[in-house]
Amino acid sequence: MRRLLPHPLLSLSLTVLWLLLVNSFSAGALVLGALLGWLIPFATSRFWPEAITVRQPGVLLRFLGVFAWDIVRGSFQVAWLILRGPARLQPAFVEVPLALKTDLGISLLANTISLTPGTVSAQLSADRQVLLVHTLNTDDPVALIIEIKQRYETPLRQIFEPENRS
């Protein structure tokens, strides 16, 4: 099973992507999509040294819900801050200490931060311990760090790095 289908999640998403791209759900498109979804992971296997495993799909679903809601909330907040004018903004750089260890976890956290309320991840330190985050408007950087860690990092750790849980 592992040898025949090394990355089931990747194969599934490639198939769905193909169906969306041709914008038809006929049997032919499905067969071709499934074939591509099966072949492409082999052709690109050097980029995927280890398979992605999702523990606790329930936590993942909850995280996606929080994430989607925060994108909408964040967009409205940023829009409001822009319309209110630059004079009253308090931008700041904050450093978020990371508990995540894997490449996947860190990159997902960085992308989540960039898409959510008024924050952009700016740089990862050389020792991969600290993520530098720029925020558009904050009056309490410590609260922001705690919010990021509780809201995004904890569920990401539960989903992708359960063995490192403290």
Partner 1 sequence: MSAMTDILLSLLILTGALFTFVGSLGLARLRDFYTRLHGPTKATTLGVGCLLVASAVVFSLEGDGLSLHEILVTLFLFITAPVSAHLLARAALHLKVKSLAPAPERPASSPARD
Interface residues with partner 1 (CB under 8 A) are 17, 20-25, 71-72, 74-75, 78-79, 81-83, 85-86, 89, 91-93, 95, 110-115, 118, 120-128, 130, 132, 134, 136
Total residue count of the chain as it appears in this document: 166
Taking the least distance from each CB to partner 1, the nearer of 21 and 52 is 21
Q: How far is the CB of 10 from partner 1 (least distance, A)?
A: 14
Taking the least distance from each CB to partner 1, the nearer of 107 and 150 is 107
Taking the least distance from each CB to partner 1, the nearer of 34 and 71 is 71
User: For residues 35 and 27, what is the distance between their CA atoms, to the nearest angstrom?
Assistant: 12
Q: How far is the CB of 54 from partner 1 (least distance, A)?
A: 18
Taking the least distance from each CB to partner 1, the nearer of 1 and 83 is 83
Closest by Cα among 21, 10, 19, 16 to 45: 10
